[in-house]
Amino acid sequence: MFRSRTIALLSPLLLLNPLPYAYAQQTNETASETVSETLIVTSDRLTDVAPQSYRAQRSSLASKQPVSFLEEARTVETVTAQVMADHNIDSLTEAMAMVAGVTEGNNMGGTEDGFIKRGFGSNSDGSTLIDGIRQPRGTFSMATVDHVEVLKGPASLFQGQQDPGGVINLVTKRPEYEWQREISAEATSLGGGNASVDVTGPLADTGLAFRFIVHHEDEDSFRAFGNNRRTIVAPSLRWEGSDSRAQISYEYRDYDLDLDRGTVIVDGEPAKVPNDRRFDEPWSRVFGHDEAVTAWWEQDINDNWSTRLTYGWNRRQYSDGQPRVLRVNEDTGALTRRADANYGFDRRVQYTAWDTTGTATLADMRHDLTVGIDHERRRDYVGDVYRGSAVTDQNIYDISYGGLNLDRDRLNTSRSNRLDEINTTGVYLNDRWHFNDRWTLGLGGRYTRYEQFGGRGRPFVTATNISDDIFLPSVSLLHRLTPDTSVYTSYSEAFVPNGADSDTGKTLDPEHSMGSEIGVKHLWNDQLSLAAALFDIRKENVAVSDNGVTRTVGEAGSRGVELTVSGQLTDQLSLLGAYAYTDTEVLKDTEGTEGNRLTNAARHTASLYLAHDLNTGPEMGNWRLGGGVRYVGEREGDADNSFQLDAYTVADAFIGWDTPWMDDNLHLQLNAKNLFDTTYYPSSGGSTRVVVGDPLEISLQASVKF
């Protein structure tokens, strides 16, 4: 259905007649959205979020143009700056816990963020963006992030090669033209903490504004040993003229991270050992540095049209070492391990895009158009691969550390020099065709040409050398039932060229997916919104990984419903609530797993968070308190569905105080995460790689603005 390649052919004709168009707010818009529309005529922000709000008023992530909540025919959820501040969110994993239907996936021992979105996803799916630019796999701190957006469903129209679950976009803090200075520090009950300096303001009368962020963290693990150290330096520069804007930013991240594969499965359940027990060694770590450069320039052509050139380059260079658990004797507890290491990882993404956006009229009907071209080069390389001998040297019930070390003579030349490189060039066009004040038809399409090259070994053996092209359509229809309610349906496709399995070197077939969605959106007032969506996704050649071995499943499906409510119940009470039902199934497979559910995909997830501002006198300062709970249902632990991870519920709470000292610029906040110290297992990478959830953590934060 909706597969016709003619769906985008009418839109280019409109470019031939870009008649002057005086933008006027539709008469059936709410008063609140009328105000926000006039506030932002041109903006380099990807989302417009009201200060201290729990909801976003608009987003550009799905259309590359600002589209209001009621006019967007896709599900876009935002974790706002206020949500992040209230709940002391310092990692992408914590941010995604606030989003409906998103669960944790295999996270490479805590060193690579991976999420399951609408049943699909992995730590290598390329779905994490920073300011719209794809990032190499890794962990992402929130120190430089203003807010986080999630676009659900296939998103290849503008984001290129993508998994059908959706994309996650981290929107960074931009330079401002008003001076802002903030120093903050935090200490946690687990040991250690972090500190940041954030300064922004104008550079004399040059028309330039700058921002400079420095962040350092050194935090201990609750496990038997381990800690994470990270330093971030992020300068940026912005310029705005009368009809043009530009920004360039740089971010450097140096890190030394704990690589903790978690616990093992015994008799279908996590091993009955203390939660802090590890089955590796203190040298199990990842260390390296990341660099990223982002630059864009935007020019207004006239009152209705603008063009934008975007460039992004990022690189992750690191090495790792780990005593890898291979198996456990379920009768005796005997543990078989192997000392492994990978030195000289070099992962890069280079991205260039040129977009032109604007409005045109034809037969008194408005068209919001986006046309563009992009090119992306992804390079994934590792130099030296070490693989030790399997040794049964420990017991999970009585373990001692220090007995297994890396042998530098165990270089595996057949697995070294592993390279996977993908070059894609895409041309895309999207038209939001407004028939009248109530009906909007979206027609879009992307033509992509890709080349993939890969191999490994000394001497190097080529395993992949292919090229192909694909057309990906996108269609939507939206109807405004009332000034405060809209309904929509949409269909889109996505495509990902799979790399080779890192252990076997076997080339994996490319993935192709298609997804449809039906939804309704409603505004109760200018600050409280409801969104509900039904979705259905089909994906071919799904890459699955258990205990380090990756293969493809012939076809898998996911369908379900999502419900989100966010905003202000009153002037003092904020609300963020979500529920998702996700039913996944393997539809075709040669390994005999047809009918199985997909790994780490919970059938039920739910969350509810509240925050309340207390009315106190000026001499008492401003107080804000809140908390909430999140529930994650049972998940399958591997592709064979041989074990399950139990459902869990975790509660959090906080209290913040803007003190009357230092002209109300001193903020103190106490957060309690996992308030009732629940034992839980958020995700699995196989029976020997089950992540252990964090216990109760109390943190105290202080920040000064001046």
Rg of the Cα trace of the chain?
25
Q: 230: pLDDT confidence band, cut at 50, 70 and 90?
A: very high
Select from 654, 658, 666, 668 the least CA-distant residue to 706.
666
pLDDT higher than 80, residue 24: no
Round to whole Å and give the CA distance between 682 and 673.
15
pLDDT higher than 70, residue 342: yes
Residue 311 · residue 256 · CB < 8 Å: no
Q: What is the mean pLDDT of residues 678-690?
A: 96
Order of strands, edge to edge, in the sheet holding 145-152?
76-79, 145-152, 166-172, 128-130, 133-134
Mean per-residue pLDDT over the chain, rounded: 90
Q: For residue 348, which phi and psi values (nearest 5 degrees)? A: -135, 150
Q: What is the mean pLDDT of residues 287-295?
A: 97
In single-letter form, the type of residue at position 340 comes to D
Q: What is the mean pLDDT of residues 291-308?
A: 97
pLDDT higher than 70, residue 411: yes
Round to whole Å and give the CA distance between 486 and 684.
39
What confidence tens digit (pLDDT) does each residue in 653-673 have? 999 999 988 777 899 999 999
Q: What is the mean pLDDT of residues 167-179?
A: 96
Inter-CA distances, 601 with 100, 117, 518, 557, 598, Å: 12, 8, 21, 12, 6
Beta partners for residue 614, in sequence order = 623
Which range of 27-36, 54-63, 300-309 scores highest in mean pLDDT? It is 300-309
Among the ranges given (135-144, 381-390, 493-502, 543-552), the one the predictor scored with the smallest mean pLDDT: 543-552
pLDDT at 82: 96
Q: What is the mean pLDDT of residues 20-34?
A: 35
pLDDT higher than 90, residue 593: no
**Vertex 197: Cα angle to 226 and 217 (nearest 5):** 0
pLDDT higher than 80, residue 50: no
Element (H, E) at 95: helix 92-96
pLDDT higher than 70, residue 550: no
Judged by DSSP in three states, 278 sits in coil
What confidence tens digit (pLDDT) does each residue in 355-375 have? 999 999 998 999 999 999 999
Q: 254: pLDDT confidence band, cut at 50, 70 and 90?
A: very high
Select from 430, 359, 428 the least CA-distant residue to 63.
430
Q: What is the mean pLDDT of residues 517-523?
A: 97
The pLDDT > 70 percentage for the chain reads 90
Phi-psi region of 547 (alpha: psi -120 to 50; beta: other; left: phi over 0): left
pLDDT at 14: 33
In single-letter form, the type of residue at position 565 comes to V
pLDDT at 666: 95
Q: What is the mean pLDDT of residues 156-165?
A: 91
């105000």: which residue's tokens?
A: 35
pLDDT higher than 90, residue 2: no
Q: What is the mean pLDDT of residues 486-509?
A: 77
Provide the residue count of the chain.
706
pLDDT at 660: 86
Among the ranges given (87-96, 122-131, 545-554, 646-655), the one the predictor scored with the smallest mean pLDDT: 545-554
Q: What is the mean pLDDT of residues 437-464?
A: 95
Judged by DSSP in three states, 693 sits in coil
pLDDT at 28: 36
pLDDT higher than 80, residue 703: yes
pLDDT at 45: 43
Q: What is the mean pLDDT of residues 41-67?
A: 75
Give the contacts of 261 (CB within 8 A, at least 6 positions apart): 109, 279, 280, 284, 322, 324, 325, 685, 688, 689
Beta partners for residue 449, in sequence order = 425, 469
Q: 705: pLDDT confidence band, cut at 50, 70 and 90?
A: very high
Q: What is the mean pLDDT of residues 395-409?
A: 92
Q: 508: pLDDT confidence band, cut at 50, 70 and 90?
A: low
Q: 526: pLDDT confidence band, cut at 50, 70 and 90?
A: confident
